């Protein structure tokens, strides 16, 4: 999408799932597979590579991004909301950053979340696991069944004056809010501290206590 000159606006949306509890619904993302994390099937490098690669391309690329948050946006999915330009959330969608219970740092959320909800609410979300408010996070909140129309309307509005203006204003926001040197400084701290968390016995203890990972099959 980033390389295709015909695409002016990108949409980040979860697919329809088959799980019996949510069959037929779309879920933006339910976070890491914590059983795999517990069993060592997710390497430490997954974390810095994700934020320096995919998430950074969404955040700093020239294309405008709409996120459609339906059902859940947990962990990494919630972090992605902080990198897009417009968030459309379905009523009842739950937004959480459960890094406290996992024993890790939630990507660049510590850097970006305060811009959305303020410093104190960001600290409560990350340090205490408090659920994030849809009203505080979303640009639009729609009823179930209205997401398709809302995405089409917002994409049309964002592209009505052409991609050049949108991309230029996006870059201007990024420079003012998160200069590249600030991001580099944050990621240097993040890479070191995330390694400390990842290789700490506390990670195993948290996963056993909060997820009962030692009792779950792969």
Q: What is the pLDDT of residues 41-78, one digit of tens each?
A: 999 999 999 999 999 999 999 999 999 999 999 999 99
Q: Give the pLDDT confidence score for residue 161 in this predicted structure.
A: 73
Averaged over 96-109, what is the pLDDT? 92
- Tell me the two tokens of residue 169: 């204003």
pTM equals 0.93
- Domains of the chain, residue spans: 9-215
Please provide the CATH number assigned to the domain covering 9-215: 3.90.226.10
Residue 118 has pLDDT above 90, yes or no: yes
Share of the chain above pLDDT 70, in %: 99
């Amino acid at each position: 999408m980033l390389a295709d000159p015909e695409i002016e606006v990108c949409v980040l949306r979860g697919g329809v799932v088959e799980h019996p509890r949510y069959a037929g619904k779309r879920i933006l993302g339910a976070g890491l597979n914590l059983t795999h994390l517990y069993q060592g099937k997710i390497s430490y490098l997954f974390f810095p590579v994700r934020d320096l690669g995919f998430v950074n391309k969404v955040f700093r690329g020239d294309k405008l991004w709409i996120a459609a948050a339906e059902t859940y946006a947990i962990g990494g999915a919630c972090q992605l909301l902080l990198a897009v330009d417009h968030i459309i959330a379905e009523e009842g969608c739950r937004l959480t950053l459960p890094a406290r219970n996992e024993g890790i740092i939630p990507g660049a959320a510590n850097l970006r979340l305060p811009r959305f909800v303020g410093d104190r609410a960001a600290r409560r979300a990350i340090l205490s696991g408090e659920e994030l408010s849809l009203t505080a996070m979303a640009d639009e909140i729609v009823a179930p069944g209205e997401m398709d129309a809302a995405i089409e309307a917002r994409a049309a509005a964002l592209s009505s004056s052409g991609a050049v203006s949108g991309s230029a204003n996006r870059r201007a926001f990024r420079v003012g809010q998160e200069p590249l040197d600030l991001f580099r400084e944050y990621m240097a701290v993040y890479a070191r501290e995330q390694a400390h968390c990842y290789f700490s016995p506390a990670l195993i203890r948290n996963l056993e206590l909060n997820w009962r990972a030692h009792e779950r099959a792969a």
